């Protein structure tokens, strides 16, 4: 109760001053105003952190222990979410933050950043739309439960998403592949109604605070307008399009030969080694760099420990013991009476020291990369969990920064010198550099038209243009053909909602461009580390043990959200966000692809 009273008293003080005809800029001298702002922020922070932690723990349980028929867990998550929403979206907090910001020229930089963060946090849960927010939280909880509790089946037999992925990654039997692909999309039917409902609720909730729509709200965290973000993503696609076009041509011919089929104009979705066609790297096996057997002998736990050892070698602190005792790192046992979310993720539970990861690690090359990536998020959390960074600002410089750091380490973890260091490949191994670049491009380049194009364009239309529910699937496949050159293997009418089979459409909405921008940033970071710090070939690096590399990474991460991301980039690299580094990195591959594709029919247009 005391916390609420102080918050209200600050608001009352500001209102009284305004009523007396004194503008916010003339309330008192700077130090007195700053002291009052500090009091408000301190009270807010204490309550915010407590409610955030409670909500995070409830969501953790909801994602790690899914039991059919269990309503208590989802109810707890819903209640915790409501309490968090009620506080962050309260009119008192919104009004107080707004009043202080009227005099922001008299406040410190950190105070302004925190007050702006308070208003952003309120955006998704404003009390002025309390009923809508309550409905939204309940709808999001139900959507998560439906998606991750879904019983996927092939020929009437229950299968996991890992089973489906295994078929799409390795099977050469097209009928078998088609069954697996279609099975992965069945969940969309169950989720379509919920997505329509969520779109409406999300838009209404942020419109109550003056945002046009939910997409604009999410973009605003970057300090950008919707159009600026759309333009930035379109430019990223245009920059890498010539390379993607060559990759698409190569893939059509390669897969046609693999399946003994005529070369198609566009890529049938079930031909590709991923449920959404977002990355194709398993099409290429770089001899020696597929070290599944070596990892199988070492075990899943070894992968986790070696991941930690890598970061420690750069000068970072070891993980807290609680990371291992509280995380959910490995697949649920075969005989378990529960399911879990199999999508890898990192969690900053209390915005302090309780860091966890949700994974289903198996001892193979794919999970080696994923573990190093997720630990990148964990170490980012630890880097900015310091007294210098206020709790409210413990986040990435922008959301793409977080993904960039994780994916950067994923890239570095697959280069030969590092693998030799880890004892996973032989030092005398001859590695086909072009094949290695091809495998990387089938991940890092292929994902960009998907992320900046399909996902961003679909969600922009969904939220900003109120896309009709009768055109969800039509629009989805139009975008996939336009940006990815991918078409459905069978007729996909509006009874399906293939977009909703992607987890981010449901529970991490309107921000998938983060991943595309992260790829742009990560290559800027990697090229700087390779050329300016390590003085090594960017295609053949070993970060392990480089304290200077660790210091550079820490300089990117430690400020958290206290600094504008564009200033952070300029300070550390001396440049703006640009795809130049990606094109430089893959230049040798581009030359090889052009030679390889000579005489082949190119089905994608020259420009997007």
* pLDDT tens per residue, range 260-315: 999 999 999 999 999 999 999 999 988 877 799 999 999 999 999 999 999 999 99
Q: Where does the pLDDT of residue 96 fall: very low under 50, low under 70, confident under 90, or very high at 90 and above?
A: very high
Does 112 score more than 90 pLDDT? yes
Does 322 score more than 80 pLDDT? yes
Q: Where does the pLDDT of residue 504 fall: very low under 50, low under 70, confident under 90, or very high at 90 and above?
A: very high
Tell how strand 267-268 and strand 486-487 pair up. Answer: parallel
| Sign of the torsion formed by the C-alpha atoms of 372, 375, 379 and 380 | positive
Planar angle of CA 461, 467, 473, nearest 5 degrees: 95
Does 231 score more than 50 pLDDT? yes
E strand residue ranges, 264-364: 267-268, 345-348, 355-358
Does 25 score more than 60 pLDDT? no
pLDDT for the residue numbered 165:
96
- The residues pairing with 357 across neighbouring beta strands, listed in sequence order, are 346
Neighbours of 108 (CB within 10 A): 13
Q: State how far the alpha carbon of 320 is from the alpha carbons of 299, 317, 326, 351, 547, in Å.
A: 21, 9, 10, 14, 21
pLDDT for the residue numbered 286:
85
pLDDT for the residue numbered 289:
77
CA separation for the pair 565, 400 (Å, rounded)? 10
Does 515 score more than 70 pLDDT? yes
Does 336 score more than 60 pLDDT? yes
Beta carbons of 393 and 560 less than 8 angstroms apart: yes
pLDDT for the residue numbered 553:
98
pLDDT for the residue numbered 520:
97
CA contacts within 13 A on the Cβ side of 85: 25
Q: Where does the pLDDT of residue 12 fall: very low under 50, low under 70, confident under 90, or very high at 90 and above?
A: very low
Q: Where does the pLDDT of residue 28 fall: very low under 50, low under 70, confident under 90, or very high at 90 and above?
A: low
Q: Where does the pLDDT of residue 342 fall: very low under 50, low under 70, confident under 90, or very high at 90 and above?
A: confident
Mean pLDDT of the chain: 93
Q: Where does the pLDDT of residue 318 fall: very low under 50, low under 70, confident under 90, or very high at 90 and above?
A: very high
**pTM of the shown model:** 0.86
pLDDT for the residue numbered 68:
86
pLDDT for the residue numbered 1:
34
Which residues does 183 contact at the CB level (< 8 Å), separation at least 6? 152, 153, 154, 159, 164
Q: What's the mean pLDDT in 108-136?
A: 93
Planar angle of CA 401, 403, 409, nearest 5 degrees: 105
DSSP annotation of 388: T
Q: What pLDDT, in 10s, does the model give residues 391-411?
A: 999 999 999 999 999 999 999
Q: State how far the alpha carbon of 227 is from the alpha carbons of 199, 234, 460, 470, 579, in Å.
A: 20, 10, 10, 26, 19
Tell how strand 157-158 and strand 153-154 pair up. Answer: antiparallel
CA separation for the pair 156, 163 (Å, rounded)? 14
Q: Percent of the chain at pLDDT above 70?
A: 95
pLDDT for the residue numbered 265:
98
Q: What's the mean pLDDT in 149-160?
A: 97
CA separation for the pair 482, 454 (Å, rounded)? 8
Q: What's the mean pLDDT in 226-254?
A: 98
Q: Which two tokens stand for residue 518?
A: 């992260």
């Amino acid at each position: 109760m005391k916390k609420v009273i102080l918050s209200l008293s600050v608001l009352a003080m500001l209102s009284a001053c305004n009523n007396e005809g004194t503008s916010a800029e003339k309330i008192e001298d700077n130090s007195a105003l700053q002291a009052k702002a500090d009091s408000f922020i301190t009270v807010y922070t204490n309550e915010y952190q407590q409610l955030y932690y409670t909500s995070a723990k409830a969501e953790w349980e909801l994602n790690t222990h899914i039991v059919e028929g269990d309503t208590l867990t989802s109810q707890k998550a819903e209640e915790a979410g409501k309490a968090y929403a009620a506080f962050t979206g309260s009119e008192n907090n919104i009004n107080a933050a707004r009043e202080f910001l009227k005099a922001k020229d008299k406040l410190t930089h950190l105070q302004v950043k925190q007050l702006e963060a308070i208003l952003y946090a309120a955006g998704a849960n404003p009390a002025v739309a309390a009923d809508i927010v309550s409905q939204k939280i309940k709808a999001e909880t139900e959507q998560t439960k439906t998606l991750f509790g879904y019983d996927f089946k092939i020929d009437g037999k229950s299968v996991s998403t890992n089973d489906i992925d295994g078929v799409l990654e390795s099977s050469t039997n097209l009928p078998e592949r088609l069954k697996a692909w279609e099975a992965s999309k069945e969940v969309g039917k169950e989720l379509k109604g919920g997505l329509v409902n969520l779109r409406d609720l999300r838009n209404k909730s942020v419109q109550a605070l003056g945002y046009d729509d939910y997409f604009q709200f999410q973009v605003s965290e970057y300090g950008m307008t919707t159009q600026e973000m759309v333009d930035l993503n379109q430019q990223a696609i245009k920059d890498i399009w010539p390379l993607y076009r060559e990759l698409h041509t190569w893939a059509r011919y390669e897969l046609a030969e693999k399946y003994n089929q005529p070369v198609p104009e566009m890529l049938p979705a079930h031909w590709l080694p991923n449920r959404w066609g977002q990355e194709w790297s398993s099409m290429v096996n770089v001899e020696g760099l597929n070290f599944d057997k070596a990892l199988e002998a070492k075990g899943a736990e070894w992968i986790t420990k070696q991941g930690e050892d890598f970061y420690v070698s750069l000068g970072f602190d070891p993980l807290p013991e609680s990371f291992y005792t509280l995380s959910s790192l490995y697949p649920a046992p075969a005989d378990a009476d529960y399911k879990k979310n199999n999508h890898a993720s990192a969690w900053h539970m209390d915005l302090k020291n309780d860091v966890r990861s949700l994974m289903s690690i198996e001892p193979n090359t794919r999970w080696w990369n994923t573990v190093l990536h997720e630990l990148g998020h964990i170490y980012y959390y630890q880097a900015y969990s310091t007294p210098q960074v206020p709790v409210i600002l413990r986040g990435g410089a922008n959301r793409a920064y977080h993904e960039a750091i994780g994916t950067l380490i994923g890239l570095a973890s697959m280069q030969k010198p590092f693998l030799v260091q880890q004892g996973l490949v032989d030092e005398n191994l001859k590695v086909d550099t072009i094949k290695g670049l091809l495998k990387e491009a089938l991940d890092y380049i292929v994902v960009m038209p998907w992320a900046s194009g399909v996902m961003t364009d679909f969600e922009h239309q969904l939220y900003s243009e109120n896309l009709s529910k009768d055109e969800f699937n039509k629009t989805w496949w139009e975008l996939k053909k336009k940006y990815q050159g991918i078409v459905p293997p069978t007729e996909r009418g509006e009874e399906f909602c293939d977009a909703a089979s992607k987890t981010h459409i449901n529970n991490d909405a309107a921000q998938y461009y983060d991943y595309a921008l992260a790829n742009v940033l990560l290559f800027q970071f990697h090229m700087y580390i390779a050329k300016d710090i390590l003085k090594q070939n960017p295609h053949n690096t070993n970060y392990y043990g480089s304290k200077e590399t660790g210091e550079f990474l820490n300089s990117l991460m430690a400020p958290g959200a206290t600094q504008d991301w564009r200033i952070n980039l300029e300070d550390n690299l001396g440049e703006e966000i640009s795809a130049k580094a990606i094109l430089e990195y893959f230049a040798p591959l581009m030359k090889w692809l052009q030679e390889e594709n000579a005489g082949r029919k190119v089905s994608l247009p020259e420009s997007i």
